Chain A
Amino acid sequence: EAEVAQSPRYKITEKSQAVAFWCDPISGHATLYWYRQILGQGPELLVQFQDESVVDDSQLPKDRFSAERLKGVDSTLKIQPAELGDSAMYLCASSGIGDTQYFGPGTRLTVL
Chain B
Amino acid sequence: QKEVEQDPGPLSVPEGAIVSLNCTYSNSAFQYFMWYRQYSRKGPELLMYTYSSGNKEDGRFTAQVDKSSKYISLFIRDSQPSDSATYLCATRDSGGYQKVTFGTGTKLQVIP
Partners in one complex: yes
Interface of A with B (CB < 8 Å)? 4, 6, 31, 40-45, 48, 50, 55-56, 89, 91, 93, 95, 100-106, 108
* Number of residues on chain B facing chain A (CB within 8 A): 23
Q: Which of B43-76 contact A (CB under 8 A)?
A: 43-46, 49
Given the complex, which residues of B lie within 8 Å of A56, measured CB to CB? 97, 99
In the assembled complex, B34 has its CB within 8 A of some CB on chain A: yes
New A-B contacts (12) at CB < 8 Å, excluding given A40-B8, A42-B88? A31-B97, A40-B105, A41-B105, A42-B4, A45-B99, A45-B100, A50-B97, A55-B97, A56-B97, A100-B46, A106-B42, A106-B43
Interface of A is mostly: strand
Interface of B with A (CB < 8 Å)? 4, 6, 8, 32, 34, 36, 41-46, 49, 88, 90, 97-100, 102-105
Complex Cα distance, B111 from A66, in Å, reads 43
Nearest chain B CB to A104 CB, angstrom units = 5
Nearest chain B CB to A14 CB, angstrom units = 22
